[in-house]
Every structure is written in C-alpha cells, then in structure tokens.
Structure 1
C-alpha cells in the first residue's frame, strides 16, 4: 500500500516537472521520425523501427515508453509517408500519441541526395489515469479524467551524404484546445521543440566519426525547460556503431529543483546493422546528479528493418 501511495504522490506533486519534459529518447539518431515528421522517406522505400525505454529502473512504476515507426518513400522520390505510435507511462498516468506523417522532399544541390524536406503530421493524443492501480486509505477514486485531443506536428529536415539538420515541433493543436477548468487534475500537453544537427567525418578506411546534437525545449506558461544531448559515435565498416552522449538539463523557470538543473546524465549506446537491413540498438543512461541514487539507471533497446525492393533503391548508406 505504501508503494502505490508513494507512486501517486510522485505523479501529483511532480506533474509540473513531467509536463515540461518531452518523452526522453536516447537513440534519436537511429530514426528521426519520432521527433520530426519531415524525416519520413529519408531512409528509402520501406522502413520499420521500434524501441522500448525503461527509465529509472530502481523506482517502482518508473517512466516507460514503447514506440513504433514506419515510413516509406513514394516512387516519385519526392514524397515520404510515415506513421508513428508512442505509449508513454509515468507512474499511474499514461499517454498515447499517434500520427500520420507527410513529407515533401526538394532537391537543393547538384547531388540528388541533397534534400530539403518539409513535413506535417496529424493525429491525436490520449491521456488516461489508472485509477485501479491506485491504493490509498481514501476510498474515493482519484479525480483525473481521460482526455482525447486532436493534434498536429511540423518539421523541416535538410540532409546530404555527410550532414543533416532539422527542426521539429510537436503538440501544436492539443495544447491550444486543452481545457483544465473542470476541476480535475490532468497534465496538459506542452508544445515541444526539437533542434538537431550532425555529420560524418572520415577517420580511416571503414571508420567514420558521427558527431551530433539534439536540443529539446518544452514550453508552457510557467517555465521553459531545455535539454541538450551532445553525441559522438564511431561507425566501423558501416555495421557497428558505438557512441557516448552527454545530456544537460536546465530551466529558465522555477519549477525544476536545483539538482535537476545540473548536467544530469551520460549515455552509452551501440547499434549493429546486419545485411544492410536489420538494425538493433541499445543504450544505457546513467544520471550524474543526486537523483541517481534513488531511481537507478535507464535502459533503451531498438529494432529496425529496411525493405529495399524493385528499382527504388538508396544510392548511399544512411548514417542518420
């Protein structure tokens, strides 16, 4: 009983903190569709990707995320289509995201692989609260209602054979129509911004360096919470990727504790590619601030598959 009461307090008392944060995702560099709809079609004809993230494994009921993405490039080569689903759970609160994405890709250089893409995603966000799992001494159920909100996302993505940069924005509609005046305690959607960039630097034969950066911003009326991932990975023979990320978090508001404003984690990650089609990735997040002793580390595993068929093939390897 004490365990469930503790989880309930975590959700209710720290709701403003969770509301400021985007769903954490350490392997964003392996598939950009989760944070940018303009990424749809980048990898080629048909692609599937999924990941599972278990955060703060030392805390009962810690955050967990399960996501699935599928995208394809049309025969005309200028249009990308994609679908992404995500289920995110924090304590007793669960949120489901679903989007259908469309990207239009323009050639912007002499090389046909130099593209500037504009993307939009339309879908919905469903928020719910697991009253059945709440165990308190108060017999009355917790008054947190379910909500179903339409939503949209937008993105811009520029890529060449050796460089990429993008901007994505989520929760464009849901946060505008959310109504919190009914007396219940619900966590409202928050507009999320993602800024990414990176490149490929040859080091030796069959050895490539892939530095990249991700800046995330969650904005609401109370504060602005920023998270920055600095990443460096090495690719061996286009099959093995090993890397490290350094994540910092800070807020310009007053709703994050001092310990969370400090540099908060380091991430080790790896990916293996088989036959140019199958991908498996793993990452481990280790918190550097005081919260690590209470909540433990974070594990994330991903699986991907690319289907290349017919004459519609990718000319160069996809490193991003």
Structure 2
C-alpha cells in the first residue's frame, strides 16, 4: 500500500471517528505560548495589551497533515483588576475536517497577600465561544474506488461520500482558576491552575467534542548575583533575565490522557527548552503512550517574543509522520519583559507578564 493511500485512509478514519465519537481539541507543544487557549484565567496575564499568533503543522510528511492557527489579543485594567481577551482558532485535518472557534474571554484578579515585593493572587476566568465544524468527504477516497490495480472508480457509492458536506454550529462555555505566588524580586515564582473547557457544549447529545479538563503548574527560578562571573556586571546592568522555568500540563478529553512536562532555560534574549509529551507508564492496547520529545528555541525582547519548536515523534509512528513544527509570536503594546529602563514600569503592575 502506498504512503499516499495510507495517508488518505488515515484522514478518512480520523474524519469518520470525529462524527461518531468524541473528537479532541487541537494541541500546542508550546502551550505556555498560547496561555488563554488553555486557561481563560490567563487573560490579561501580561499586565499590558498583548497580541499573540501561533501556528502548528503536525505530520508534514503525510498528505493527511494537521494544521492549526490561533490569533489572540488580551489586555488588563489596573483599576478594576479585570483582564479581557479575544481569540480565533482554525484547525484543519487534511482537507476533510475543519473546526473554527471564536472566543471572548474575561478574568478577574483577587489579591490575597501583599508584603513588600512578595505577592499572592487568585485569578478567575470565563470564556464564551462559537464553534463551527465542517466535514467534507470530497477530498477522500473510499474502499469501493480501489481494486488490485489501484484506483479504478473516480466516484464512490459509499453513503458517507454520497451524503455531501456536513456542518455543525454551537455555543460553548469554559472556565478556569489560577493561583500565582511571587516570592519577591529576584526570587522564585510559582503558579498552579485548573481549567474546564466545553462545560455547556459537551452536555449536548451527539456532540463532537468531549469535555477537556486541564491541570497546570509551573515554577520559575531566577539566577542572581555573580557579577564577576557574568561579564563583569554587564548582565546586571542590562537587567537580563537569567532563569529556569519548570512547567507541567496534564489534560484529559474523553479517553485521551496527555502530559506535557519540561523546562525552559533563559539567558535573555535567548531561551532554549526541552519537553516531553506522553504518559510513559500508561499503556493503551499494549503500547506505551510516548508521543514526542520537543526542542524549543526562542528570543525575547522588551515588547517582542518569538519561539520555534520541533516535535520528534517517539511513538510507533515516528518514521512516517515527519514530527511537527510550531511557531509562536508575541507583541506587547507596552513592555512585556523587564529590561533596563522599562523595569520600574513593569514592577508597578499588579500583574506582571508570566515567564514560562
């Protein structure tokens, strides 16, 4: 069987399964670079207006590749402690299945402790969405089109092919909560959150999406001191970010349980990271659920961040898929990261831009 035929059959199976069972939401290896998609409580988390663009291409070696694009804007109001955001996401599974989601997001921050530069807060988030899905069998081939010699029938008599394109539209609501604890300037910061997506939509009979429940936590540890070691104080003078961030993201949707965990090492403007996705001790049909090892490189400046990652597939599909490419870009309407003259401006904010 040729690779093209295998790809088409994979696309057909995925599309049909999406109609008869619970589908899964798009995933991002750089989940921390698309924060409001994973938890609405992250809306306004930069403390300033922020534009984010994310693009992912999964399995580029196959004709049945997956592509996802996301665009979002969020901002924060100091007086009301309210964060607001909007997001648009489109996901294409080959040419057969497409999903579009448009969301409005709001968050509210509740300070629970402030002692000099030590702070703790709880943030609540809500999201309302429109979701539209379209299935088009025009790009598929079916079993009755093939014989020993290959493709013999241009048109299929399969009922799924004869039925034409199908569309579905629905409203959706999601919620999340986030706890942040900043131990002080040049000290560790940690956070933990919980989000539930498709609270309303998943209750609809025959819906294509199951409820997605996510837990997330992270720890950022800055490296301080050592002027003589770090270019005779040049690092200190430029207020470079030198830190390591450890982050974990666990999510379940239907029968699918997925873990992302890893670290990012930052010596601004350079950032590099290594991540793992899968459940190494969990078996499904006698196969361990190892998915991918992920390498990340990025650059962050005062108002700008760009990151690229590549997924190295470690599942049994590793020789066929070509992995996955992902690109994330942030642009801030004000300072996002603490550099020299912008440090005091950032420090006055109730919410500072999350470093992952």
| 1:157-236 correspondence to structure 2 within 5 Å | 157-161=178-182, 162-179=189-206, 188-205=208-225, 206-219=241-254, 224-236=255-267
After TM superposition, give the deviation of residue 69 of structure 1 in Å.
Answer: 1.4
Post-superposition offset of 1:197 = 0.5
1:134 maps to 2:140: yes
After superposition, residues 68-147 of structure 1 pair within 5 angstroms as 68-76=71-79, 78-91=81-94, 92-111=96-115, 113-136=119-142, 137=145, 138=156, 140-142=161-163, 145-147=166-168
Distance 1:210 1:8, change over 3 A: closer
| Pairs within 5 Å for 1:1-320 | 2=5, 5-12=8-15, 14-15=17-18, 19=22, 21-76=24-79, 78-91=81-94, 92-111=96-115, 113-136=119-142, 137=145, 138=156, 140-142=161-163, 145-161=166-182, 162-179=189-206, 188-205=208-225, 206-219=241-254, 224-237=255-268, 239-249=269-279, 257-259=285-287, 261-274=288-301, 276-308=302-334, 313-315=345-347, 318-320=354-356
- Cα distance between partner residues in 1 of 2:5 and 2:22: 25
Find the residue that maps to 1:190 and give its secondary structure.
coil
DSSP-derived class of the 1:52 partner: strand
Q: Please tell me whether the aligned partners of residues 11 and 93 of structure 2 are also in contact (alpha carbons under 8 angstroms).
A: no
**1-side partners of 2:289 and 2:78: how far apart?**
48
Residues of 2 paired with 1:153 and 1:251: CA distance?
30
TM-score (normalizing by structure 2): 0.77
| DSSP 3-state at the match of 2:203 | helix
Q: Tell me the secondary structure at the aligned position of residue 265 of structure 2.
A: strand
Query: Within 1, Cα distance between the matches of 2:308 and 2:26?
Result: 17
Return the offset for 1:35: 0.5
Structure 1 residues 89 and 142: CA distance shift in structure 2, 3 A: farther
Deviation by residue 1:207-239 (Cα, 9 ceiling, x = unmatched): 2111110001113xxxx32111111111113x2
Unaligned regions of 5+ residues in structure 1, if any?
181-187
| Other structure's SS at 1:9 match | helix
Alpha-carbon shift at residue 61 of structure 1 (Å): 2.4
**Structure of larger gyration radius:** 2
**CA separation of 1:3 and 1:215: change in aligned 2, threshold 3 A:** closer
C-alpha distance in 2 between matches for 1:293 and 1:70: 37
Q: TM-score, normalised by structure 1?
A: 0.85
In the other structure, the counterpart of 1:184 is: none
Number of residue pairs the alignment of both structures matches = 302
Post-superposition offset of 1:163: 1.1
| Alpha-carbon separation, structure 2, partners of 1:303 and 1:10 | 33
What is the DSSP-based 3-state SS (H/G/I as helix, E as strand, rest coil) of the residue aligned with 1:34?
A: helix
Shift, 1:114, TM fit: 2.6
